[in-house]
Amino acid sequence: MTSAAAAIPAPVPAREWERLAERGRLRRRATVVLLYCVLVLGSLPIVIPYLWLVTVSLSGRAGADTIVLWRTLAVVFPALLLWSMLRAGIDDEKRRFRLEMALGLATLAALGWVTVPHLNLNNWRFLWSANIADRVTGTAGVGAKFPSVWTAFFNSLALALIQMTLVVVSSTLAGYYLSRYDFRHRAAYLKGLLILQAFPLLTLTIPIFLLLYWVGLLDTITGVVLVVAALELPFAIFVMKGFFDAVPWDIEMSAMTDGASRRQAFWMVVLPQVKVGMLAVGVFAFLRGWEEYVFVRTLLIEKANWTMSLYLFWMQDDMMGVDYAMVSAVGVFYVLPSVVLYAFTQRYLTQMNIGGIKG
């Protein structure tokens, strides 16, 4: 009896448990702070070029004035590290939110104090100046070769929106058909979709140029829309098929058993289940059309058909005297629609679920 009692370890005092728990919490917070710091440092090579683009567009003269960039980094970088520590060190959500708001306001105030005296909107005069090329170069007649930025903007918007609509509608119907119907050569068709994605698109520029010339769509937005949509479709169809595969047959069969037709079951039961996939395909298709450069450079000739990518290309050409500050402003203006699109859709894109893998 005495030997058995001696084998049982003595109970750990409550104070020792508290010390162990506190040590665990400190270790967890240190790990999270380290993780945030690594993420912030790893993001700098991506963030700094965009930050340079914005600051030079609002302050620079011929791209040489970078004082705003360094002052902005001197304020933003410590603020990000402090924010990381707040996220990791404070568990109370209300208190953390108040401190984050205070940190945000202090950061904005500091940014305004160190940068506002150096900011101006002169580099953005291409938005309201009808003949910006003549004004930049100081030479009359150059502007005749340069369209308004708003012409290029609406051409890009039309290209991106129309081809996005074509891609979303076509890939949704094709993905449903491939997922739900068993037809001859279905496996070969799926393999063909993957093979089409394997070829470099640059190899198709000459054949597509000749094809559009023969059908009379060369130098038209319609021709570029059809080309970009056709090249985007294989990947979009494959993605949409994955979303339809993830929808159980049972819910569709239940709707049909209750009296719905196949078309009604598709519109009212199946389609709402894949709306996130349609959104993802639509976002990527829009960005593909918005940033397209190779085919618009090859297939569009007249200045009335220029898109924003062509406008930016010619803006940094010698014809314009290479005003890097204005090129930066055009670049920021070019990026804005993509940023707005991501801001409104990122919440849904992060919840995307393809084939049972949740992002």
Q: 220 and 158 in contact (C-beta within 8 Å)?
A: no
To the nearest 10 degrees (0 to 180), the angle between helices 221-245 and 186-196 is 130
* Structure confidence at residue 339 (pLDDT): 87
Q: What is the DSSP string of 200-245?
A: -GGGGHHHHHHHHHHHT-TT-HHHHHHHHHHHHHHHHHHHHHHHHH
Inter-CA distances, 145 with 228, 268, 295, Å:
26, 52, 20
* Structure confidence at residue 166 (pLDDT): 95
The pLDDT averaged over each successive group of 10 residues in the chain (359 residues) is: 57 75 82 79 81 81 66 83 76 82 89 82 81 67 72 92 94 91 84 79 87 90 92 90 88 85 87 89 91 88 87 74 80 90 79 49
Q: 165 and 230 in contact (C-beta within 8 Å)?
A: no
Can you list the alpha helix ranges (DSSP code H) found in the chain?
Answer: 2-7, 14-59, 67-89, 93-115, 132-137, 149-180, 186-196, 205-215, 221-245, 249-257, 262-265, 275-290, 294-299, 308-315, 324-349
The one-letter amino acid at 76: V
Measured distance CA(308)–CA(31) in Å, rounded: 44
* Burial class for 351, CB neighbours closer than 10 Å (0-12, 13-18, 19+): exposed
Q: 311 and 147 in contact (C-beta within 8 Å)?
A: yes
* Structure confidence at residue 355 (pLDDT): 47
Contacts of 85 (CB under 8 A, 6+ apart): 33, 36
pTM for the structure as a whole: 0.78
3-state secondary structure 46-66: HHHHHHHHHHHHHHCCCCCCC
